[in-house]
Amino acid sequence: MEQKRMLIGGEWVEAGSGEWSDNLNPHSGEVICQVPSATVEDVDRAVEAAHKAYYETWREIHPADRAKLMFKLADAIDECADDIARMETADMGKPYNQSSGDVPATADIFRFYAGIADKIEGECLVTPAKTFGYTLHEPFGVVASITPWNFPVVMIGMKGAPALAAGNCTIFKPASSSPSTALELGRLATEVGFPPGVVQVITGEGGAMGSRLAGHPLVGKVTFTGSTAVGRKILEASINNIAKVTLELGGKTANIVLPDADMDMAVAAAARTIFLNCGQICTAGSRLLLHESIKDEFLAKLIPLAESLKVGDPFDEATKLGPISSKQQYDTVLSYIDTGKSEGATLLTGGSGPDDPALAHGFYVSPTIFGDVTADMTIAQEEIFGPVLSVTTFKDEDEAVEIANGTDYGLAAALWTRDVSAVHNLAARLEAGIVWVNCTNIFGPWMPYGGYKVSGLGFEAGIEGLKEFTRVKTVLIDTTDTPTTWPTE
Ligand code: NAP
């Protein structure tokens, strides 16, 4: 059994406790490797190493030289792209044909932020007479990056690239079910010359260790992507230290189709947004809101399309849906399917895994569509994070907005129409951090996003996302040589 060590202070180490966690392949159900189960003492070691690296080395390195290291890391990721994609697929079941797109995308995220690393500028302020003032955007020092299992390698880029570009040291804590690619990027960062302690990776179960990382007094910034429930715990943990926190949390995206929409485009996108990555995307269009006049025609196209998507071995090139990422998440998805049935929704297709003996040991769920879903049902309110679509109809735009905004989440929405007035009216009224129009799930490092309501705090990506990794210092200089007077004098 392969045992992968974690990266602390430039060394590949075991957990202080000597404990290991199993990493399962969700296709075969077999343990593929073990990683150290880090303890709070290991977290302390990593944070102290990052703190030391920041004050002794990293903050003295010119931003242009930081950028060069980041460009080298991007090239190294591209050179090992195939190995990284295979690790990702074996770890979390994403079809290889999708993982192999995630890896170059991650390299490009590092390039995007490397290009900005030496352009992070403050401002000259308009100050009172005989004074001069300016702002600086300074790093926090130590950043904790806690990431989920749905896009493991991309998440390392989305958090690590802006954190490093802004001049921070960063400690990655990947999800315990998908640690391999974070460790691999740690290895590449070391190889291309990042000083010890600047990039570190600790592994094992979130819980106590994750809370320590989020609440450690030497951590200045916590960036977290994951569920809203754990996001709340991160906020609690950060209270003592008043660490600055960015949270990218859950979603329940409404995908709204007006009667004048291009139906073929909208049908293809409705399937892709919920079944890509097995629905394990925070912005997956899990609620399809159809105008009542087009429901029957739309579903007559969508259901056969969903049934045609190949569910199977993630290393098969034809596969569109691999297994659900872990046994725990698989059980969660099946339990929501049961709830949908018991609350009166109509199961239109799917509901269980394919009847294929080759997949018997994996965590497979076929594309699942529920009709007759009312806005108050559990499957219309809670994030399932699996290939389960709920379909609800509306009679007019007001009702579409009411349903779309009627959950606690506010991460994203999508809208299908050619009516430019409807686009502007609805985009303004939708309570969501992203509104896609005639498209869905387009992302890139160029595009800032952040959840409304319980979907998040702060921003990821874009220049807004970079600013999250800096703190603003104002410097004000009295240019006279006269003593300051009291206000009353
Ligand atoms: P999760 O259970 O919240 O876990 C996320 C990360 O937090 C994992 O590394 C986890 O470690 C760690 N963790 C667990 N408990 C912790 C604690 N008490 N303190 C600190 N860290 C802790 O989320 P997930 O199931 O991995 O991912 C799915 C969720 O992520 C969904 O809700 C999805 O919507 C959300 N997501 C949001 C975005 C966005 O941009 N808004 C993007 C992708 C995913 P373990 O793995 O060891 O438990």
Calpha distance 312→319 (Å, rounded)? 6
pTM for this predicted structure:
0.96
Residues 6+ apart with CB under 8 A from 39: 15, 16, 17, 19, 204, 208, 209
CA distance 144 to 153: 16
Out of 88, 184, 248, 383, pick the active-site residue.
248
Report how far ligand 1's centroid is from the alpha carbon of 380 (Å).
Answer: 21
Q: What is the pLDDT along the chain (489 residues), one digit of tens a residue?
A: 899 999 999 999 999 999 999 999 999 999 999 999 999 999 999 999 999 999 999 999 999 999 999 999 999 999 999 999 999 999 999 999 999 999 999 999 999 999 999 999 999 999 999 999 999 999 999 999 999 999 999 999 999 999 999 999 999 999 999 999 999 999 999 999 999 999 999 999 999 999 999 999 999 999 999 999 999 999 999 998 899 999 999 999 999 999 999 999 999 999 999 999 999 999 999 999 999 999 999 999 999 999 999 999 999 999 999 999 999 999 999 999 999 999 999 999 999 999 999 999 999 999 999 999 999 999 999 999 999 999 999 999 999 999 999 999 999 999 999 999 999 999 999 999 999 999 999 999 999 999 999 999 999 999 999 999 999 999 999 999 988 888 887
Domain with CATH 3.40.309.10 in the chain: 254-437
Return the best residue to mutate from 145, 227, 281, 381 for the ligand 1 pocket (most ligand atoms within 8 A of CB).
227
In contact, 251 and 383? CB cutoff 8 Å: yes
CATH architecture of the domain 254-437 equals: 3-Layer(aba) Sandwich (3.40)
DSSP state of 408: S
Report the CATH fold assignment for 6-249+455-475: Aldehyde Dehydrogenase; Chain A, domain 1 (3.40.605)
Residue 302 · residue 271 · CB < 8 Å: yes
For the Cβ of 225 lying below 6 angstroms from any atom of ligand 1, the answer is: yes
Q: Write the CA distances from 60 to 53, 270, 478, integer angstroms.
A: 10, 49, 28
Residue with the nearest Cα to atom 23 of ligand 1? 226
Positions of CATH 3.40.605.10 in the chain: 6-249+455-475
- Distance, CA 175 to ligand 1 centroid (Å)? 7
Q: Is 312 in the pocket of ligand 1 (CB under 6 A)?
A: no
**Catalytic residue status for 88:** no
Give me the residues paired with residue 229 across strands. none
Expressed in angstroms and rounded, the spacing between residue 48 Cα and the centre of ligand 1 is 24
CB 302 within 8 A of CB 311: no
Is the CB–ligand 1 distance for residue 166 below 6 Å?
A: no
* CA-based nearest residue to 451, from 211, 227, 159: 227
